[in-house]
Chain A
Amino acid sequence: MDKQGLYLGNVSDAEAKEFHNGFMMGFMIWLAVAIVAHYLVWLWRPWLSMKTASIELDQAISTITTLLT
């Protein structure tokens, strides 16, 4: 069956499916590692919670207090 347009025609259906399976497996492993790593970093230093803002606010208050005294 001749496909037209975008198809390069250098990869058979079976080869494309086989590579796709391997690619998806590798992608899922990479994604799992990334999710675990981001979770661990969140436990260490969360970056979107209100704690981020309050730390900088505390620093600003401390700095201003130090400058005034």
Chain B
Amino acid sequence: MALWRVWQIFDVRQVMIGLGAFLFGLAIMIHFVLLSTDRYNWFDGPRSAKSSASIPAMPK
């Protein structure tokens, strides 16, 4: 084990900055992808009038 030794191999500052940038970018991308869908858009829901007219009740 001795996983703590990773901080003697990689610079803490660079790892924290890299992780922050990567995780933020990934999170932003995933949230935007969800917003672009019909089912997972949590603002106003489905866009097209046809799907809102014909969509059956959401299963709970």
Which A residues have a C-beta under 8 Å from some C-beta of B?
3, 6-11, 13, 15-17, 19-21, 23, 45, 47, 51-52, 54-55, 58-59, 62-63, 66
Taking a contact as CB atoms under 8 Å apart, the answer to whether A11 and B7 are in contact is: yes
Q: Hey, which chain A residues are within 8 Å of B58, CB to CB?
A: 45, 55
CA distance A26 to B1 in the complex (A): 20
Q: Which of B9, B10, B50, B56 makes the CB contact (< 8 A) with A58?
A: B56
Q: Hey, which chain B residues are within 8 Å of A16, CB to CB?
A: 4-5, 7-8
Of B4, B9, B55, chain A has the most CB atoms within 10 Å of the CB of: B4
Among all A-B residue pairs, the 9 with the closest Cβ atoms: A20-B4, A62-B54, A16-B7, A6-B9, A17-B4, A51-B59, A58-B56, A16-B4, A7-B8
